[in-house]
């Protein structure tokens, strides 16, 4: 997984420029309290990692399918992945006062990082099974889907990890961060976006931004060597939903796409 993450990191830093997003420039207010959404500066990378890591490794639906990691490998792999996204300069966070209470990590995803990527083995003992299996599923699906060809782009704005502190859920923060992220991507010149939603919640949130589902893979039907890989997913997350949209740098920034999955 580490080498896979390294390959994904290669092109992640080139598109970081000063943010022009009106949503972010205005430090837009959430539904309640003194919460605002803004781009993540380098000085807050550590705080965002400290916020997002426990939420993902405990609450994200697929993380609940594998035994707890006792070696620290899962956390290291997750940090490496999250850090490549932070270094892209395309990530946003929600602050309650000065405390990070939410994050939406995004990055540029180039055709070569998907189409030219070899599929990682699912049973490499040196890799954490959660992260290796998620990477394997996503690469397999996207090599077959090839949204680059379908939408005629070489690079996607990929909305990756989305998290909100349990104390702050249900106030529209995830939706606000997702919208701000897509507006940021549009303002930075990206013309298409995709998101791999591992739960019904994130698929619903990305759908409300204007993104459209282009492929759905039921976890019960995703098998390697005839065995279901993601067992015991919580009821809220029975499928991977791939969402996509076109982007433009004027309102509305998110344009729906109608794509029939070819797999
Ligand atoms: C999923 C998560 C990001 C939602 O954050 P949130 O700030 O509570 O979400 P929002 O308040 O912005 O919800 C916006 C919409 O999403 C939908 N939604 C939110 N949580 C949902 C859930 N658990 N199940 C189904 N839909 C959900 C609702 O339609 C909601 O709209 P509403 O105004 O009609 O209620 C948060 O619970 C979390 O961090 N979970 C753990 C990490 C994770 O699973 N991330 C997603 C995978 S990438």
Domain boundaries, the chain: 2-256
232 phi and psi angles, rounded to 5 deg = 60, 35
105 lines ligand 1 (CB under 6 A): no
Structure tokens at 31: 């539904």
Report d(CA 216, CA 30) in Å as an integer.
31
For residue 230, pLDDT over 60 is answered with yes
For residue 58, pLDDT over 80 is answered with yes
| Residue 261 pLDDT level (bands cut at 50, 70, 90) | confident
Q: β-strand 155-164 against 192-197: which pairing, if any?
A: parallel
pLDDT digits (tens, 9 = 90+) for 203-212: 999 999 999 9
85 lines ligand 1 (CB under 6 A): no
45 phi and psi angles, rounded to 5 deg = -55, -45
Stretch 210-230: mean pLDDT: 93
Closest CA to ligand 1's atom 39: 163
Q: Can you name the CATH fold of 2-256? A: Aminopeptidase (3.40.630)
Task: Round the CA-based radius of gyration of the chain to a whole number and report it.
Answer: 17
Residue from 181, 170, 243, 236 nearest 207 by CA: 243
Predicted confidence at residue 2, as pLDDT, reads 32
Across 28-179, the runs of DSSP E, i.e. the strands, are 35-39, 92-96, 99-110, 155-164
CB-based contact 1:73 (threshold 8 Å): no
pLDDT digits (tens, 9 = 90+) for 159-215: 999 999 999 999 999 999 999 999 999 999 999 999 999 999 999 999 999 999 999
Residue from 182, 51, 4, 204 nearest 106 by CA: 182
Residue 251 DSSP SS3? coil
| Residue 119 pLDDT level (bands cut at 50, 70, 90) | confident
- Of 100, 194, 200, 205, the residue with max ligand 1 atoms within 8 A of its CB, to mutate for a pocket test, comes to 205
- Ligand 1 atom at minimum distance from 160 CA: 48
- Ligand 1 atom at minimum distance from 198 CA: 47
Closest CA to ligand 1's atom 25: 201
CA of 209 to the centre of ligand 1 (A): 13
Closest CA to ligand 1's atom 16: 205
């Amino acid at each position: 997984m580490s080498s896979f993450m390294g390959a994904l990191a290669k092109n992640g830093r080139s598109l970081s420029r000063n943010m022009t997003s009106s949503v972010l420039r205005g430090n837009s207010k959430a539904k309640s309290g003194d919460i605002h959404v803004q781009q993540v500066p380098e000085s807050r990378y550590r705080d965002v990692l400290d916020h997002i890591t426990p939420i993902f490794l405990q609450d994200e639906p697929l993380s609940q399918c594998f035994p707890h990691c006792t070696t620290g490998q899962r956390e290291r792999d997750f940090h490496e992945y999250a850090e490549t996204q932070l270094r892209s300069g395309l990530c946003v966070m929600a602050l309650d006062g000065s405390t990070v209470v939410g994050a939406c990590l995004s990055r540029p995803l180039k055709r070569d990082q998907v189409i030219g990527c070899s599929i990682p083995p699912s049973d490499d003992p040196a890799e954490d099974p959660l992260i290796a299996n998620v990477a394997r599923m996503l690469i397999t699906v996207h090599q077959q889907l090839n949204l680059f060809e379908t939408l005629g782009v070489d690079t996607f704005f990929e909305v990756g990890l989305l998290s909100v502190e349990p104390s702050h859920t249900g106030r529209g923060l995830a939706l606000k961060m997702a919208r701000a992220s897509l507006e940021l991507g549009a303002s930075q010149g990206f013309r298409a976006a995709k998101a791999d939603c591992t739960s019904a919640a994130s698929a619903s949130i990305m759908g409300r931004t204007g993104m459209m589902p282009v492929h759905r893979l039921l976890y019960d039907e995703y098998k390697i060597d005839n065995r279901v890989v993601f067992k015991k997913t919580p009821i809220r997350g029975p499928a991977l939903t791939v969402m996509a949209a076109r982007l433009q740098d004027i309102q509305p920034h998110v344009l729906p796409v109608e794509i029939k999955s070819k797999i």
